Each structure stands twice: as C-alpha cells, then as structure tokens.
Amino acid sequence: MSLEIKIPEVGESITEVVIGSWLKSDGDYVEQDEIIAEIETDKATQEFPAEASGVLRIKANEGDTVAVGAVIAEIDTDAKAGGKSDAPKESTASTTTSSDDSEEGKKTGEIKEMHVSELGESITEVTLASWFKKDGDFVELDETIAEIESDKATFELPAEANGILRTVASEGDTLEIGALLCKIEVMEGKPSGTTSSTSQEKPAETSSVSVSGETTYATGHPSPAAAKILEEKGINAGDVKGSGIDGRITKEDAEKAQKPTQQAPKDTSKPAATSTSAAGARDERREKMTNLRKTISRRLVAVKNETAMLTTFNEVDMKPIMDLRKKYKDQFKEKYGVGLGFMSFFTKACCQALKEWPAVNAAIDGDEIVYHDYCDISIAVSTPRGLVVPVVRSAEAMDFQSIESEIIRLAVKARDGKLTIDEMTGGTFTITNGGVFGSMLSTPIINAPQSAILGMHNIVERPVVVNGEVQVRPIMYVALSYDHRTIDGRESVSFLVRVKELLEDPTRLMLGV
C-alpha cells in the first residue's frame, strides 16, 4: 500500500512551507516516526517524521514552496527494507535503547537525545548560535557544548551525559522549544581510540590554516551559518579573522566582514570611467535579522497598532541635581564604590510620582486593569545585539546607592549577553535615555503590556526666565508616552509635572513631599 505524506497544519496564519532539506533519499527504507525531512515556515524550522515504515518516494524537492495539505512524498508500506534494512534496524535499536532510560539509567551504548528545553513563558523558539564541540567529539557530563540564543538572552548548553556527540541541528538554525539538538552515544570513559584520532586530525587540518602551534581544527573555519553569509557576500573565509572559540569564524564575524576592494587595477585601464566609479560606488549588503531584532520589530508594531498611544512633554531645569552631584559625587563614589548618576534621581522621582498616580503604573489584562502597589522599573539598555530592557525590582524601596549599583549590574550583564529571562520579564514602568546619544526630543514607544514610558533627552544650556530674569540653565526635555485606554490626560500631565517638581527640588525626594 502507498501512503501519501502531506504537509500538516502548522499554525493558524501559515498557509505554505518550504522544504528545507531531505534527511533521507528517494528509495531509502524509513521507520515510522523517523525524521525524514525539515520544513521551514516564516516563523520556525520543524522536523518532519515518517508516518509509517516503508520505502520513501520523494515528490517535492529541497527549496520547493508547497501549500499546507500538499503531498510531498509517498511511503510504500508493503515494501521490505531488503539490503537497506540493517541501517534502519540499528537506528531503531538505538532509539529503543534510548526509550529505556528511565528503567536502566544511562548505560554504555545508549543514545541520549538532547532537546531545546523550556526557557521562559514567552519564548517559543531559539537560534543555535554556535557549537563548541564538533560532530564525533567526546563530551563529558555538564561540559558546555553549544550556545543558543533566544530573542531575549544567550544560554550555554551543557552535555547531559558522557559520550560521543552526534549533532543534529546546525549553527544558525532556528528551533522550536522541544526540537532535537543533538544525540550523545553514552560511554562510561573517554575512548582512547577516539582521542588519538581526534588529536591526530587537528594538526592536519590546522596546518593549512596557520603555522602557529596554538591553532586547532576550528581556526579560520566558518560555522555553517557564517559560511552561508560569506558565500552570499562573495568573501573568502581566508580573508576573515575569527573571534569564536579557537579562532572559529562566527556568524557575527561573517556579518561584519567586508569584501576586499580589488577593482582599482581593472579601472586603471579606463581613465574616464575610473573617476566616475570611484566617486559613485554603490555597494550594498544584506544581513539576516536576528531573533532579537525580529521580536523588537514585532512588538513595536503591535504596540502602535493595539494601543491608544500619545505623548506629553515638559522640561526640567537640571541645575539643582547637577549642583548636588558636583558637591557630593566624590564622597558618594568613595563610600559606595559607584558613581552618582542621573538615573537614580529619575528612578526615585518616577517611583514617588507612580504612587501618587497609580494609573500610570497599571496595565490592561483582558477586560481588567491591573494596578501595581510596587514599582518594578524597566531600564532600556542599548547592546550590540539590540535594545534590551532589564528590570530594577521594587525600586520604590531602594536608596540611591542601591539603584545605581543595580543599574550598573544589569547594564554590564546586558552588554555581555548574560541577562536571564527573570531579569528581563515583568516591569511596571519604563525609563529610556536617548540623551546619551544626543537626542533632544522623541516620542518613545510603550513597552507592552505597560501603560507608560518616560523618555529622557540631552541636557542643553538654554535661556529661561527665573524670578523675572533671563538666565542660562541646563535644560532637559522629558517625554511621557502613555496608553490613553488606561491613563487620562489629567493623570499623564500631572504625573510628568510631579516628576519635574521632584527633580527640580531634590530635597523633596529625600523627604517624600
């Protein structure tokens, strides 16, 4: 009997998929539930299992775009494995051994499968950033073998057993939670044969790359994702310096790499065209969006479409705070070991104002408005990977030193890509400082599901009237973007005026008046 294999429903909005790759060839014998192909949607890559045992007959080619419900293969269930039965039987035996894990524990010869684990409520897929070990390497329990990236953070992946690594996913692959990453052929001790062969291969591979005795097989070799980017750019891997483990060329290295300009000699024979082409170079490059950038894009568009967002503005005379900092910053640094910045003043002022105007600290949940009696302040931090927003918990109960220390700790972790999911989830109100980049005025976008965000800007000396006299003062424009569904105009304007009052008279922050 011939069984038709069709593309199943993979999501509400998905109507077609791309055949990423066939893991089995036409005419191969396959076992039921054995992975035979990978299909790609605009959101993720999924493994495609065989629905029955038999001989595979492929109907769609790699790279084809097919509609949901289309036939991509057939399986002849009456056909026998024949000469090809040995391989399937062995893999079946290995899989069976794996399923006995709970009864017999990890034994030599067992196959331990490693899947993408749950990383947080809102994370549905990750990207395999890099393998620290290659296929066939011996790995030890809890040894870091790979690094995976979500749209919020980067995580290290430890080995779940001792044994030989068999990679399934490739660097750069986007994987859903629960997807198979690799398999480990469990062994009790490090095999001497494997060690020697591996160590003998490394000099052979590295000799063509570098004469340095410190290089390894990875030196100068691009990861699969990096190799694809370099190929698209037309750049030779030998022209790129790797920053990864042992000098491996990572995806980031490939994205930053520029094609060497070698057109000057050709143009010298054409004097008239040389000046024109040199003056009018029109190079361009394409880079795949990271998960973080895609998530930022999706969330910002959703906020603009799903909230009644508008912005109110005011200005703050920063002279009182600047005078206070100038007077006490050295003593503060000496006592607490951290600098006295503007963020602690703004955080304290916002916490005080949020207590007085709780709607600004609220959020919509379905048909209900959730009011928070605490202030978890999200601080926007720019990193090489994109904008992240770690949270200072219970900021209303913290003093200036605690706030400054926590902001520094979170900012350093953010720039190193080491923030945890817990450190970025939650938050009841956000502060963003575009002034560090020179912004004079902006309308910041709300960090959903919060209802408001305060935007700080650069400090510029401007003429203002003080007690009937024109004086030059350091002025900062501040902006409050808010969701009009939750916050009325009176509340938003009054909140911003209260923040202005507290900042222009810092003693009020100390006294809470």
Q: Which residues are catalytic?
A: 484, 488
Alpha helices in 237-317 (DSSP H): 251-256, 264-267, 271-279, 291-306
- Alpha carbon 288 to its chain's center: 13
Separation of alpha carbons 220 and 245, rounded Å? 10
Name 174's bridge partners.
127
b/e per residue 133-164 (b: at least 16 CB within 10 A): beeebbbeeeeebbbbbbbbbbbebebbbbbb
- Three-state DSSP class for residue 189: coil
> Could you give the angle at which helices 342-356 and 489-504 cross, rounded to 10 degrees?
140
Separation of alpha carbons 504 and 441, rounded Å? 19
Cα 505 to Cα 151, 321, 463: the distances in Å are: 40, 8, 19
Does an H or E element contain 187, and which?
Answer: none
CA-angle at 58, arms to 82 and 51, nearest 5°? 70
**Cβ atoms within 10 Å, residue 75:** 23
Q: Cβ distance 343 to 432 under 8 Å?
A: no
Separation of alpha carbons 351 and 425, rounded Å? 19
Q: Cβ distance 218 to 245 under 8 Å?
A: yes
Separation of alpha carbons 341 and 206, rounded Å? 50
